[in-house]
């Protein structure tokens, strides 16, 4: 399973059994590839409510190496809008 999370409000914190740790803030995207196996833990460690969109995708190739990452998207002029993909 490929799992993509777009944080809309506040932040989420990730930890997993592969040693990955990180915090993904509002406007940023977190991607996790379950691959051959990963045990994740996602938590809202913030005092405010976290809101996010999460998309799960079946990969086209089974048995991939597990992975996790987060990416900050720069927002021009402080706008509350981020382009995730373009056709």
Domain boundaries, the chain: 2-73
Homologous superfamily (CATH) of 2-73 is Jelly Rolls (2.60.120.10)
Neighbours of 31 (CB within 10 A): 15
| Structural contact between residues 38 and 69, judged by C-beta atoms closer than 8 angstroms | no
d(CA 62, CA 37): 11
d(CA 34, CA 52): 19
| pLDDT exceeds cutoff 80 at 80 | no
pLDDT tens by residue, 16-68: 999 999 999 988 899 999 888 999 999 999 899 999 999 999 988 888 899 99
d(CA 74, CA 67): 23
d(CA 3, CA 56): 5
Q: What is the pTM of this model?
A: 0.76
């Amino acid at each position: 399973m490929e799992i993509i999370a777009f944080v809309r409000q506040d932040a989420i914190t990730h930890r997993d059994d592969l040693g990955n740790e990180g915090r993904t803030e509002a406007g940023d995207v977190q991607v996790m590839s379950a691959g051959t196996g990963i045990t994740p833990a996602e938590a809202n460690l913030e005092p405010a409510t976290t809101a996010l969109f999460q998309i799960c995708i079946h990969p086209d190739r089974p048995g991939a190496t597990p992975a996790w990452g987060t990416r900050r998207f720069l927002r021009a002029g402080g706008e509350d809008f981020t382009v995730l993909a373009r056709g």
